[in-house]
Amino acid sequence: MNRTRKRDSSARRGAPGERPGTRGAGQKAKSVPGGRSKAARSLRTARAAPPPVASPQTARRKRKTPLTLEDGVHAALIGAAILFAVSLIAFAVFVVAPSLSSAGFAPLPVTEPDRAAPPVAAPRQGLREAAPPPGTENGGMVTIAPPTVARPPVAAPHEGPQSDAAPSEGTENRSVVTGTPPSPLLAAPLPATPTVEMPAMATPPRDREQPVPGGRKTLAIVIDDAGNNLAELEPFLQFPGPLTIAVLPGLRWSVEAARRIRAAGKEVILHQPMEALGGEEPGPGAIFAHMESAEIRRIINKNLDEIGPAAGLNNHQGSRVTEDAAAMETVLAVCRERGIYFLDSRTTAGTAAPAAARRLAMEIGERDIFLDNVQDRAVMADFLREGALRAERRGSAVMIGHTWSPALAGLLAESYAELRKQGYVFATVSALLAEKGAR
């Protein structure tokens, strides 16, 4: 019994080298060195080997697909675009460029942009509207440091309308004969000096452009903006001839400036601040175009009482107010009531003052030249010569300068004697208007 069980067990296990389950019971398997079968080793080798790599020819054969109609259209469009671009470049290089050169076209020169103008110096103790150049309007001004000015002797004080004409008017004019060589002041060229000029508007023709019979040549010089600084005012007080000086109201030195001007024998007028088109602040005691007539009257009368007695008034800034016909009629009505004159500084080409004066049957003065619109002594001398030539053509000229132009004070003092030799007469604005009214 025991032998039979052992034999059965041995048959189930199989012979050495036989994998269980691969062969039937009792069958021997072929062995290989190492005790493993060929099938097992082949299986292991197959698992460890890398997958086969296809050759390039095989890959191309696999990827090769037939081109569609859409692919052909795309390729044709790309080729046409490239050909068109090359044609344009060739046309520009070989046809257009030679034709432009033969026609005389050349590239524009590259220029350096204009440099900015030097900054405009701010006025002292108050704002003022820029004065336009002679014969123009709405210009600007540039200030410079004051040079040393030799002061001539002070003229004897006197009141009322002034004129430096000789006692015999005919004698004064007969000293000038036609064909006399011009003096160095009016004929000698001045060295060119770099200046900064501001934009301006042209002044329209005046009503009175006819030469005055008799050959009288009267110059009326007005100096604006007194009341800001007494030191600036002093050189003008020593001018040897008649001078009209306009005083701003409501400033620290307004009353004292007016007193000193009268003591020096010069004519005092009110430099009435008025609203400007540019919106600049005109300063204390100003009138505005939107004001009612009663308010304008009140302000002007108050300013005249402050610096009075005054012979007249002119506008400080005022390009907006002087263009307002109703406002100017009110201003001129106050002047007529107070027995004073009005001088239009003409800070705008559209001033309504002359028309308002005609409606009121009044005689007003009008500015001809701004002397110090450019703060350069040589340019000021040119403006002075222009004013003298206007006076020679028309009989008179009104020229305006400013107290903050120290070079102007010296120029006027040095030119006075020479202009007198040439037969020019200096007068205040009131004397000039009285002379015109008597003609």
CATH number for 285:
3.20.20.370
Residue 426 lies inside a defined structural domain of this protein: yes
Whole-prediction pTM: 0.56
Q: Total structural domains in the chain? A: 1
Looking at the domain assignment, is residue 91 inside a domain?
A: no
Q: Which is it for the CA torsion 141, 144, 146, 151, positive or negative? A: negative
Helix and strand counts by DSSP (H, E) for the chain = 15, 11
Please give the helix or strand (H or E) that residue 104 lies within, else none: none
Of 261, 260, 288, 258, nearest in space to 273 by CA: 288
Please check the confidence at residue 115 and state whether its pLDDT lies above 60.
no
Mean pLDDT of all residues belonging to the chain: 74
**277, part of any domain:** yes
pLDDT over threshold 70, residue 100: no
pLDDT for residue 87:
85
The one-letter amino acid code at 12 reads R
Range of the structural domain that residue 170 is part of = 166-176+213-438
Give SS3 for 317: strand
28 lies in some domain? no
Q: Is residue 78 part of a domain?
A: no
Handedness of CA 94, 96, 99, 100 (dihedral sign): negative
Q: Return the minimum-mean-pLDDT range out of 34-38, 97-101, 121-125, 304-308.
A: 121-125
Three-state DSSP class for residue 137: strand
pLDDT grade, residue 320 (50/70/90)? very high
Question: Is 119 domain-assigned?
Answer: no
pLDDT digits (tens, 9 = 90+) for 350-366: 999 999 999 999 999 99
Q: What is the spatial distance between Cα 219 and Cα 244, in angstroms, rounded to a whole number? A: 11
Residues in the chain: 439
**Quick check: is 194 in a domain?**
no
The owner of tokens 């390009």 is 319
SS3 427: strand
